[in-house]
Structure formats: C-alpha cells, structure tokens
Chains A and B, each alone.
Chain A
Amino acid sequence: MRRGAEASWRRSPSFGAKLMRIDWLMLSFAAALAVIGTATLYSVADGSFQPWAERHALRFLLGVALVIAMAFVPPAVWLRLSYPFYGLALAALALVPILGNEALGARRWITLAGISFQPSEIMKLALIAALARYYHWLAPERVSRLRWMLPPLVMIALPVMLNFRQPDLGSAVLCAVIGVATMFLAGVAWHHFALGGLALLALLPFGWHHLHDYQRRRIEVFLDPELDPLGAGYHIAQSKIALGSGGVEGKGFMMGTQSRLDFLPEKHTDFAFTMFAEEWGFIGALVLMGFVVALIALTLLRSARAPATFTRLVTAGFSVSFATYTLVNIAMATGLVPVVGVPLPLVSYGGTAMLSLMATMGLAMSGLVHGSDIPERDEIGPLI
C-alpha cells in the first residue's frame, strides 16, 4: 500500500501543475517589499532611478525568475547539492580575508569571474540548505543525541567564526540565529538549548575580548550613547531624529529632510528603513512590517504543511532568516541594538543579499511545489 501510494507521490507534477503550485501570494508579499525598497532608493537618490532604484528593481525581477526556475528543479537535486554548496560557500568565506576587497574597514567582498559578491550572504543560504539536508537524513530519534548534534554545531560554528573574524558581526549573529533556530525546529530537546544558553553566557567575556575595538566601541556607545554623540553614537542619534521627525504620517514621499540632507548615514543600505519611515511615518513603518509579518507567517504556515523534513526546514529557515534580518535591521535603526550592519531584506540596496535571499525562497518553493517528490531519508547517504 505504501509503495503504491509512494509511486503516485513520487510522480513529478507536470509543468502546468508546478506553475499552479508556485506560491504566488508569497511572491506578491515579497514584491510589495521590493516596491517599497525601489521607491525608497528612488527617494534616496533625490528622485532618480540611478544609481540604485533601477538596479534594485531589476535584481528583484531576476530574483523572481530565480525563484521560479529553482521551483521547477526537483528537491532531490538540491539535496544532492547542499553539502557541496556549503563547502564552496565556506571556502569563499574563508578566502575573503585573503582575496577580499576592502570597504569601510572590513573585507566582505570577493570578485570571481568579474562578479563581486559577499560570501557571508551566500553562507546563510548554504547553512540553511546544509542543516536541512542533515536533518532530512538523520533519524528523528537521534536528533537530541549529543553525538548527532555535533555535526550541525560544527556546521554553524564555522561560518559564525569566519564571519566574526572578517569582521562581520551582523552575519555572525544571523548565522548563529538561523542555525540554532533550525536545530530547534528539527526537534532538538529543550534542555540542550537551556544548557547552550548558559554556556554562551559563560563565554561572553571571552567573546568580548575577541571583538575589534570599533565593534566594542559600537556596543559601548550603544549602551551609553552619551559617550560619543558626534562619533559612533551619531548614526543611532541621527536615525532616531529622522524617525521621530517623521511622526505618524511622515513627511511625504521625497520630503524626508534628515535623510535627504545627508545627516543619515548608509541610508541606501543599513538605514533604508529610517529613510522610508521618515517619509511615510509610523503608518508607513507599520505597513512595511505588516508585509514582512505576512510573508514570514505565510512561510511558516507552508513549512508546517510540508510533507518532508528538508522542505519544512528550508522553508522555515527562509522565514527565520527573513524575520531575523528585518528584526535586527529595524532594531538597529530604532536604537534597540548596536549598529551591526544588517540590511533590510528586499528593501536595502545590495545584490548578494537580495539574490541569496530569493534563492533561499526558491529552495523553499522547490520543496513546496514538488510536495512528496523528494527522496526519503533512507534513500540518501550521509554525505552524497
């Protein structure tokens, strides 16, 4: 009976069926955010599609094409590619200090075949895929065994450490959150998280010691902005002034004085939210967050309905990744967390982040489109 049923499940859906099963609602929420992003970048450039808005919109369209293209590829392919891709991403990340282009005191970019990209952004996608691949293979009863927890912990720890050394505190935090959340969703017992939390607390002073001076300074200034109102605290203070002066209804599209007059730093990337919320006010900020919440809630819902572990974890991983990016970015702009350099997904300008996020969505979409058309646990090996 199981075999017969399996046979019918395993039949790959037709092209038309696949197209029908693509989650167009999820894509439209993403599109809404991309429109917000394009409008904001248009405003940042003083009412010009150059240099950011046009490329941002084109990249999003490219991302949509990527999602659809990836959705048509059976998950079996992605399962097979997960570990090699993780390895490549890790290697690229490790090579950043050697090959990377330096920008603003940090090496985050490398150029391959004429294309510059940020390995740290690709790393998040690779980490989600690799962890999902691991738990898809791992027998559920082994999930909470210490021995079987070790490989995923190493898979998480390597990119976290590499990002930390770059230094890219934001990516390190994101990798850690994505990894830990994936382990939690995979079913690792509660007490492990409690113990892990305690261990982390114990290691905190050690971690502080390994921070760069400017990172320490940022955290110190964040805890006490009075320390340096014109220096490191400047970003936070200016962002809050811009937000606050926007008020409930905002100053109107293209009317944001603070951002427009260059008081605001990094307004096309890390502080795009501030730019948007100054012009569109509290109402605009709520609308933006509404689209984000709708997108992540929908994604989580889809992940819970998914029949396979890989699909569930990849889809939930996309949700967690998207939510964490957004939370950290807005918390940064509102002065709740230190300025760590995390973009606002689909809104901030940045090709690698946008495309790797869309690729994560594509990965999830592939699982959702293909339903049960995915190799069983016992059909795949531990590594290949």
Chain B
Amino acid sequence: MTPDEKARFQARMFTRRALIVGSVQLAGFAALAARLYQIQVKDESRYGQLADTNRISTQIVPPPRRGRIVDRTGVVLAGGEEAFRATFTPALARDPEAVLRLVARVVPLDEREIDRLIARARRQRPNEPMILASDLAFEDVASIGLLAPQLPGVSTELAERRIYPKGSGTGHIVGHVGHVEQVAIDDDPMLRMPWIRGGLSGLERYMNPSLAGKSGRVKLEVDAKGRIIGEIERIEAVSGSDVVSTIDWVLQEKVAAHLAGERCAAAVVLDVRGGDVVAMVSVPGFDPSAIVDGMSVQDWRRLAGAKDDPMLDRATAGQYPPGSTFKMVTALAALEAGVTDYRQRIVCHGSYALGGQVYRCWNRGGHGRLDLVGALRESCDVHFYELAHRVGIDRIAAMARRLGIGQAFECGLPAGRAGVVPDRDWKIGALGRSWYPGETLHAAIGQGYVLATPLQLAVMTARIATGRAVMPRLCLSAECAAGAPASLGLDGGALELVRRGMVAAVNDGGGTARRAQLEEGGVTVAGKTGTAQVSRASARRRDGALAWELTDHALFVAYAPAEAPRYAVAVIVEHGGSGGSVAAPLASAIMADALGRDPAARPPISLASAGSGGASR
C-alpha cells in the first residue's frame, strides 16, 4: 500500500466511523424529541394541572358577619358582638405545651381546659389555629402583647362572636351555633376554620345557609417557598342575611312567664290564618350563649344529660299521647264516614264492652244519652269508643294525618318529630303484629299508640278552626311563604258540629273546660281538654299521693275567638294532672295575652328594614 492509498484508506475509515458516531447522536436527539413530544404534547394537560396546583394557593375568606335572627317586630334574638379572641397555631411554636402553660397565666384558663387544649394541639393539624379564649378583656390582650416574644404562635384579634341577648327564652327556637366539626352541615371548606360557627339546632341550623353567608376565595400565585407573588382571582365573601322569625318576643316572654311554674311544659301559639308560630315555649329551657364558644365535655354532658332534658324542645320534639284532644279527630272521621250525625245519641253507662274486655269511661257513673256535641262537651269516652268501633282505625288515622298529626313540620323546626298515627299497616310495619279491635278504642281517645307533639296539636286545632290545611312556620323565607292555605275538603257541617262541641266544652254547663273561659267578656273560646294517662289505671287509684312520673299529662287545645278564629293554642304540662284543671287555665291566660297583643294583626317587618341588605335565600 502506498502512503497515498494508506491515507485514502484511513480517510474512508474515518468517514465511515464518523457516520456511525453521527447516527448514534442523531438517534439520541430523535429519542429526546420523542420524549419531549410525550411530555409537552401528549401529557400536556396533566402537567398543566400539576403546574397550576403548584403555583396557585387558594385561601378562604370567611364572611364578615353572620346574619342576625330577629323576631317579627325586629327584636334581636341572635346577633353578633365584637370581642377579642386569642388563637394559637401549634406549628409556630417549638414547644406548644410550654406556650399553652405560659398563656394560662395571662388568659383565664383553668387546669382542665389547659389539658384539653394541649391534647388538642397534639391531635389537630398543626397549621390550623385553635381558639384559646374568645371573650378576652382588654387587659388580657395587652398582657399577651407584652409576653408576645415568649408566646410564639399566640395571636389576638378582634372578631365577631355570636350572642343571644334574650338568653334562655330563645334556646329552642333560635337554636345555637357551635363548632361544625361536631355536625357536618355541608362540605364548605370554610367550615374547617376553627372560628367558623355553624348552626347546630333551631333556626340557626335551619336557616344556616342564609345566616352563614358565602365564604370568599382568594387565589394567590405563590412561589416554591410559599411567598405570595400576586393575586389571580378574588371572589368576595358575602355576609350572612338576617332572618326574621314569626315569633313575637313580647308574647313569647308572657307565655314563658305563664309556664315558669311548671317543671316540664310546652305551649304553642299559632296564627290560624297564616300558620305563623307567634310564640312557642318549652320548659325547661337553656341559654344558647353558654354553648357558643364550645363548652367543656363535662359541661356539655351536664347540660345534655340534665334532669328533664333542657335541650329537648318539647313543643316540636316532645311526643305525648294527645288524650281527649284527639276526640275531634275521631268525631270528624265518624262524621265523614257517615256512621254518625248530629242527632245520634249514644248511651254511656260508664263502660264499654268489646270482645270480652271492658273499656272504662273516665266518668264511672256514666254520662247517659249524649249527642256528639254533648259527648265533646263532657268528653265522654264511651261515645267515642262506639264511634271508633263503627268507623275503624284506618279512617281515624287518615283523618289524623289530614289534621297534621304524624307529620314533622319542616319549616324552621329542624328537630321536629313526627309523632305516631297508628293504623293496621303501621302496627304490622312497626311491631310486626296485627291490629286488635280494642286498640282502635284506645286510639279513639288519644291513648295507646297515638303520639303527637304540641305543635301538631296546635296545627290540628287551627285546621279544625279554619277548615284549611294550615302549615306552621317559624321564619319568613321563600320556602315557608305565607299564603291562604288550601281547604282540607272537610264537610262544613261536620266541622261546625265539632266546633260547637269545643265551644260547649268551654262555655256550657257540664263542660270539662270551663276554666278556659276568658275573664274579660266578649271573646268566646273553643277548646278541648286532654288528660293523657301515663300509668295503668290500676296502679294509680290505690295511692292518693302519686309519684310525679306516674301522674297524667295535662293537655289543652283551644282557638279563639270562636266566631272568627285568630289564634290556636296548645298547652301540655308533663305529669301535670287533669287537663281541665291544670292546662285549661294556662291556655286561657295565654290566649288572653295573644288576643290582647294580637301580633298577627301587624305584618312582620320586612328584611330590608331589619337592616340586612341581602335577601333571604
């Protein structure tokens, strides 16, 4: 090989190898292009989202204030008050326990509360502030400020705090707010903030969406260290709207005063035309202010487990046998079925026999021959045993439901119970046994399985008084809009007969409810007593001094004026004794107050004048 050939050979070899090296490099770039295609073209949307979560931090802005709850005249039942609160963010302190112990020297916290806070600081998410105290005196705020260097994570701020100026008189209606972690109302992320309160009972809970307002949102652009670069989007928070209750505070206080002497009682005053609940009292009551800022577990147990259960709203959630107040239902069912009429008289000898069993009338001596009006006047059990035997349980139950029993009224009364309207299907479903004819007789006089709430009895009375399907409402909102209720479709003559019976019970000689008469003349009250038997007759007759728990419930329902009904009242005194002697005078006094004040004559204030600015939902 000549040097020239050698050189050419070498050059060719180099060209070949350079080509190989170049191909390898090109393949590398092709692979990178493919990789970039995958990341930037195919998976773009996925990475785009990842990039946004990377850089966007969403912060919740709580509404500036929670809506107030006012009565129909504008009296504030629930409102806000500015107060200093101290919060502590565990993540900001190296030793949260030491900080909390130090804070306790300034903020009035007892040993038990400190232990509870320390336990919570360990348990909860460290970045979430927790409330140490929400009603600090200015001196305490100043002390915390002085000690600030030793109290990392502790801060004080002026914040709104829920107050209930009317105290325990409003507990059951207005309800209360509290930590929402106890009850999840919805999954609004705002509710995760520790100082956000949600309604947990009563109107606070029912109207929570209006009252709470809407939380705002700020989307911030942040860098990798969480520093804020700019604001991308801001949705303003909306303050809660005020809610107007149908309650008339003045009347409410009077009703509460009448019931103050009773151990456990409830009363409902209903405007029979619109269904507005103008007063509703349950005794014993509770002061919602005590619960707002979270009470200790012990305090909560004490309240929730207290004797006579003050947290129970007896007016809407107390279920009682209605006793003789149910006799109107039986009467209307029998009249509608045509098994009796205004002339029919039924003889009472003090007892009624059916299937080898004897069913007693409350009057052992018997009432003699009575027509329907007379039977309602004297509350003759035997008369209604006979009517019930003729008409049957299913038609009685149907009538009870038409009159509002067996139904939990939703409007503003979230904890309301439905009561029990028994019939054949109900017994098979609930107890798995078939219906006995004797049980129809018990039901006819509001005993046995029948259970009703005072609110239902007030509604029943209003419906009998008007013949219309009155619906109760506790607040003014779109859902419970007022309007003339539809007719129940009951025969006018039948209704008139029952009303006459109720008028006679109060006003005629021999009537069981004569103590419900109004002292001031001119207004005629129609009513019906009820004495709901709690224990078996045999157990109670022997012993004159009966234990409280075994004494009958005293009930009374009434409407007035009889000629042009305005208000319906239902009163129950738990274990109070006889309806005629205990409940009737209370009802009469309440009715006198209701008629005297006549709150339904003035329309409730409008939301605008309540100063909310925002409309109810």
Q: Which residues of A contact B (CB under 8 A)?
A: 2, 140, 181, 184-185, 187, 238, 240-248, 257-258, 261-263, 277, 281-282, 285-286, 289, 292-293, 296-297, 300, 303-304, 307, 309, 312, 316, 319-320, 323, 326-327, 330-331, 334, 336
B33 engages A286 (CB within 8 Å): yes
**Contacting residue for B36 out of A2, A238, A243, A323, CB 8 A:** A243
B222 engages A316 (CB within 8 Å): no
Known: A244-B48, A323-B28. A184 touches B17 (CB 8 A): yes
What chain B residues lie within 8 Å of A257 (beta carbons)?
51, 55, 221
Does chain A have a CB within 8 A of B308?
A: no
What chain A residues lie within 8 Å of B36 (beta carbons)?
243, 277, 282, 285-286, 330, 334
- Report how far A187 CA is from B9 CA in the complex, Å: 11
- Report how far A248 CA is from B11 CA in the complex, Å: 43
What chain B residues lie within 8 Å of A241 (beta carbons)?
47, 50-51, 54
Known: A261-B223, A262-B223. A247 touches B17 (CB 8 A): no
Does chain A have a CB within 8 A of B358?
A: no
> With contacts A241-B47, A261-B221, A331-B28 known, what are 4 further pairs, Cβ within 8 A?
A2-B3, A245-B47, A261-B229, A316-B21
A258 engages B40 (CB within 8 Å): no
**Contacting residue for A297 out of B10, B22, B50, CB 8 A:** B22
A242 engages B51 (CB within 8 Å): yes
- Report how far A197 CA is from B50 CA in the complex, Å: 41
- Report how far A326 CA is from B14 CA in the complex, Å: 23
Q: How many A-B residue pairs have CB under 8 A?
A: 138
**Contacting residue for A243 out of B13, B40, B54, B229, CB 8 A:** B40
**Contacting residue for B44 out of A247, A263, A297, A327, CB 8 A:** A247
Tell me how far the C-beta of A53 lies from the nearest C-beta in chain B, rounded to whole angstroms: 21
Q: Mark B33-52, 1 if CB is under 8 A from A, else 0.
A: 10111011101101110111
Tell me how far the C-beta of A29 lies from the nearest C-beta in chain B, rounded to whole angstroms: 14
A258 engages B22 (CB within 8 Å): no
Tell me how far the C-beta of B10 lies from the nearest C-beta in chain A, rounded to whole angstroms: 5
What chain A residues lie within 8 Å of B20 (beta carbons)?
184
Known: A244-B39, A334-B39. A323 touches B25 (CB 8 A): yes
A246 engages B40 (CB within 8 Å): yes
Does chain A have a CB within 8 A of B300?
A: no
**Contacting residue for A248 out of B25, B41, B55, CB 8 A:** B41
Kindly identify, within residues 392 to 441 of chain B, every residue whose CB is under 8 Å from any CB belonging to chain A. Answer: none
Tell me how far the C-beta of B58 lies from the nearest C-beta in chain A, rounded to whole angstroms: 16
Return 26 A-B CB contacts under 8 Å, by A number. Answer: A184-B21, A187-B10, A187-B14, A240-B39, A241-B47, A244-B39, A244-B51, A246-B44, A247-B40, A247-B48, A248-B41, A258-B54, A258-B55, A261-B224, A263-B223, A277-B36, A282-B37, A285-B33, A286-B36, A289-B29, A297-B22, A303-B14, A319-B22, A330-B36, A331-B35, A336-B32
B18 engages A327 (CB within 8 Å): no
- Report how far A307 CA is from B10 CA in the complex, Å: 10
Does chain A have a CB within 8 A of B225?
A: yes
Known: A185-B14, A261-B224. A247 touches B28 (CB 8 A): no
Does chain A have a CB within 8 A of B6?
A: yes
Known: A243-B39, A247-B40, A257-B55. A327 touches B222 (CB 8 A): no
The list of the 6 closest CB pairs from A to B, nearest first, reads: A244-B47, A245-B51, A282-B40, A261-B223, A247-B44, A323-B25
Does chain A have a CB within 8 A of B92?
A: no
Which of B3, B25, B28, B40 is the most central at the interface, judged by chain A CB atoms within 10 Å of its CB?
Answer: B40
Known: A187-B13, A240-B39, A257-B55. A300 touches B22 (CB 8 A): yes
Of chain A, the residue at the smallest CB distance from B22 is A300
Does chain A have a CB within 8 A of B15?
A: yes
Does chain A have a CB within 8 A of B102?
A: no
Known: A258-B55, A261-B55. A244 touches B21 (CB 8 A): no
B29 engages A293 (CB within 8 Å): yes
**Contacting residue for B29 out of A263, A312, A316, A327, CB 8 A:** A327
Tell me how far the C-beta of B406 lies from the nearest C-beta in chain A, rounded to whole angstroms: 59
Of chain A, the residue at the smallest CB distance from B2 is A2
- Report how far A287 CA is from B425 CA in the complex, Å: 81
Does chain A have a CB within 8 A of B564?
A: no
B35 engages A336 (CB within 8 Å): yes
- Report how far A330 CA is from B223 CA in the complex, Å: 24
Known: A244-B39, A245-B44, A247-B44. A327 touches B51 (CB 8 A): no
Tell me how far the C-beta of A243 lies from the nearest C-beta in chain B, rounded to whole angstroms: 5
What chain B residues lie within 8 Å of A263 (beta carbons)?
54-55, 223-224
What chain A residues lie within 8 Å of B47 (beta carbons)?
240-241, 243-245
- Report how far A336 CA is from B47 CA in the complex, Å: 17
What chain A residues lie within 8 Å of B3 (beta carbons)?
2
Of chain B, the residue at the smallest CB distance from A261 is B223
Does chain A have a CB within 8 A of B26?
A: yes
What chain A residues lie within 8 Å of B223 (beta carbons)?
261-263
- Report how far A240 CA is from B48 CA in the complex, Å: 10
B13 engages A296 (CB within 8 Å): no
Tell me how far the C-beta of B9 lies from the nearest C-beta in chain A, rounded to whole angstroms: 8
What chain A residues lie within 8 Å of B15 (beta carbons)?
304
Tell me how far the C-beta of A357 lies from the nearest C-beta in chain B, rounded to whole angstroms: 16
Of chain B, the residue at the smallest CB distance from A256 is B51
Of chain A, the residue at the smallest CB distance from B17 is A185
**Contacting residue for B46 out of A244, A248, A282, A297, CB 8 A:** A244
Tell me how far the C-beta of A137 lies from the nearest C-beta in chain B, rounded to whole angstroms: 14
Known: A263-B223, A285-B36, A286-B33. A244 touches B18 (CB 8 A): no
What chain A residues lie within 8 Å of B54 (beta carbons)?
238, 241, 258, 261, 263
Of chain A, the residue at the smallest CB distance from B48 is A245
Q: Mark B542-575, 1 if CB is under 8 A from A, else 0.
A: 0000000000000000000000000000000000
What chain B residues lie within 8 Å of A246 (beta carbons)?
40, 44
**Contacting residue for A140 out of B10, B28, B48, CB 8 A:** B10
Known: A140-B6, A300-B18. A327 touches B40 (CB 8 A): no
What chain B residues lie within 8 Å of A187 (beta carbons)?
10, 13-14, 17
B32 engages A331 (CB within 8 Å): yes
What chain B residues lie within 8 Å of A285 (beta carbons)?
33, 36, 40
Which of B20, B21, B39, B48 is the most central at the interface, judged by chain A CB atoms within 10 Å of its CB?
Answer: B39
Known: A261-B224, A263-B224. A282 touches B18 (CB 8 A): no
What chain A residues lie within 8 Å of B39 (beta carbons)?
240, 243-244, 334
Q: Mark B46-70, 1 if CB is under 8 A from A, else 0.
A: 1110111011000000000000000
Tell me how far the C-beta of A311 lies from the nearest C-beta in chain B, rounded to whole angstroms: 11
- Report how far A24 CA is from B607 CA in the complex, Å: 82
Known: A258-B55, A262-B225, A309-B10. A244 touches B44 (CB 8 A): yes
A289 engages B32 (CB within 8 Å): yes
Which of A240, A245, A282, A304 is the most central at the interface, judged by chain B CB atoms within 10 Å of its CB?
Answer: A245
A258 engages B10 (CB within 8 Å): no
Q: Mark B164-196, 1 if CB is under 8 A from A, else 0.
A: 000000000000000000000000000000000
Of chain A, the residue at the smallest CB distance from B26 is A293
**Contacting residue for B21 out of A185, A248, A261, CB 8 A:** A185
A300 engages B41 (CB within 8 Å): no
Tell me how far the C-beta of A328 lies from the nearest C-beta in chain B, rounded to whole angstroms: 9
Tell me how far the C-beta of A1 lies from the nearest C-beta in chain B, rounded to whole angstroms: 10
Of chain A, the residue at the smallest CB distance from B37 is A282
Q: Mark B84-105, 1 if CB is under 8 A from A, else 0.
A: 0000000000000000000000
